[in-house]
Structure 1
Amino acid sequence: MIQIKTRSIGMIEVIQKQINDPDVKECLTGIKSAVNYDREGVSLLVKFFATRREQNIPIGFIDGTIYQTLLKMNDQSLTQEMITGLNLAEGTIDYLQLFNLLSLGEYQQADVLHNQKMCEASGTNAAERGWLYFTDVEQISLQDLQTLDRLWVVFSEGKFGYSVQRKIWLNLGKNWEKLWKQIKWKQEGSFARYPGGFIWNLDAPRGHLPLSNQIRGNKTLEAIFNLFSKIEQ
């Protein structure tokens, strides 16, 4: 019994070292490993989250992974801190349901709701229409766009979000065909069919989600990317 307890303490020390490692992959591995150590694991993650807040580190996907791991351990002690840190209460619309879906990794449901929230945030009749014109995008506040993007980034280990897609697009010289292939929206010359042609988990390539309907061309997505340039100013 003493040997088992000693082994458990030893592993907690290993995990603690991992989560403090500057290497992001090592840190994420440590966070996810904490799920195997019940109260000790919860305590370790909560303290790590608190330390990051004390250091005024903006909430990012490391914090999102901490929260998702705690959910798996049936512990929701950080809900309010996450909501506060992501400024969800400061947007013009309610993002709590999207927060919940993304934190649970329900990416397909989240993608549907995300589209609804984008339409709602535009303040136009896009909500009734069910999709955005590129001219609707300029009506979306920077705060709402940033909140939507941060939710995807935070709860995907940094893999998903408009900002991720935009960075890939810029790195590819704004070449849309190369973007479609890299994020696997297009394969063998054809766009993927919804929903089975898309990957609804973290096995997807970077930038795979959220989706943007390409039937009406890429003007809407380009307008969204261009709006991000104002956020970065």
Structure 2
Amino acid sequence: MVSDIDTLVDLRAQLRGDSLKKQLSAVHELLALGQAGLEALTATLVERKDEQPTILDGKIFQVLYATGQDDLRGLLTQHWPQGRLEMPSAQGVDYGPLQDLLIQQDFEAADRLTLAKLCELAGPTAVKRKWVYFTEVEQFPVVDLHTIDRLWLDYSEGKFGFSVQRRIWLSLGKNWDKFWPRIAWKDDNIWTRYPGGFIWDLSAPDGHLPLSNQLRGVRMMASLLTHPAWSEEG
């Protein structure tokens, strides 16, 4: 019979592996083991604190925060007072509140805030009108789009983010008629109703969030998915 210690050792090894699927599975299994599992997750996160954060770090940070344990939250705050990810911005935009919402898995509020941050990048006129013209997107700094995308990616088990949407769009030969249903923005040629029709949790299909465009137009999304920020990704 496998002992709890052996199980912990095996799961810790899984966390160090290269398979994201196995890493995420190990996080959930460790969580189910109670305090010993939480201690293993905490140790892993701290061990990795000088490394570039990945989806694994975002997930561990999320589950530790979600425990509500004061000691764990204190440790997270001690090491990462603003969250696990750095949030560079070429325009001095504060993405801290967005990171906080994503850590809490409040994806609906995070989506609304993402649109507000895109408006902030576009300038005062866009902030006032509360949406972004497609012509304004090309002026967005690369670093800011990477920051927003990374936050969504690392706190969604890799399911959400502009880069995920772009990958799906390219895989469909840039066919919008296939793209909208794939990410569940359209069903039977009818636009998904906002907000009630959208799925605000990780059961959503890949690329479902962020919406980024409350008007659901092709031109805005096309500008976003062809932005120079993604040129290195093909």
Which range, TM-score by smaller chain?
0.7 to 0.9
CA 47–85 in structure 1, closer or farther in 2 if over 3 Å, else same: same
Shift of 1:84: 7.5
The answer to whether the Cα contact below 8 Å between 1:150 and 1:161 also exists between their aligned partners in 2 is yes
SS at match of 1:78: helix
- Work out whether 1:64 is the aligned partner of 2:58: yes
* Unmatched tracts of structure 1, length 5 or more: 1-5
Partner of 1:119: 119
* Unmatched tracts of structure 2, length 5 or more: none
The answer to whether the Cα contact below 8 Å between 1:153 and 1:159 also exists between their aligned partners in 2 is yes
Shift of 1:40: 2.9
1:84-233 superposed matches below 5 A: 86-88=85-87, 90=89, 92-213=92-213, 215=215, 217-227=217-227, 228-230=229-231, 232=233
Partner of 2:21: 25
Partner of 1:3: none
Look up the equivalent residue of 1:149 and give its one-letter code. Answer: D
Look up the equivalent residue of 1:111 and give its one-letter code. Answer: D
2: CA distance between counterparts of 1:231 and 1:127? 30
Alignment coverage as a number of residue pairs: 226
Instruction: List per-residue Cα deviations over 1:53-89 (Å, max 9, x = no partner).
Output: 45x4x31211110101111233233355485763215
My pick for the range that moved more, 223-232 or 205-214, is: 223-232
2: CA distance between counterparts of 1:90 and 1:193? 32
CA 82–151 in structure 1, closer or farther in 2 if over 3 Å, else same: farther
Shift of 1:214: 6.2
Partner of 2:36: 40
2: CA distance between counterparts of 1:214 and 1:115? 8
Let me know the Cα RMSD of the aligned residues.
Answer: 2.4
The 4+ residue runs of structure 1 with deviation greater than 4 A are: 82-85, 230-233
2: CA distance between counterparts of 1:32 and 1:23? 15
The answer to whether the Cα contact below 8 Å between 1:105 and 1:155 also exists between their aligned partners in 2 is yes
Shift of 1:231: 5.6
The answer to whether the Cα contact below 8 Å between 1:123 and 1:139 also exists between their aligned partners in 2 is no
Shift of 1:147: 0.5
Look up the equivalent residue of 2:96 and give its one-letter code. Answer: L
Look up the equivalent residue of 1:229 and give its one-letter code. Answer: W
My pick for the range that moved more, 221-230 or 82-91, is: 82-91
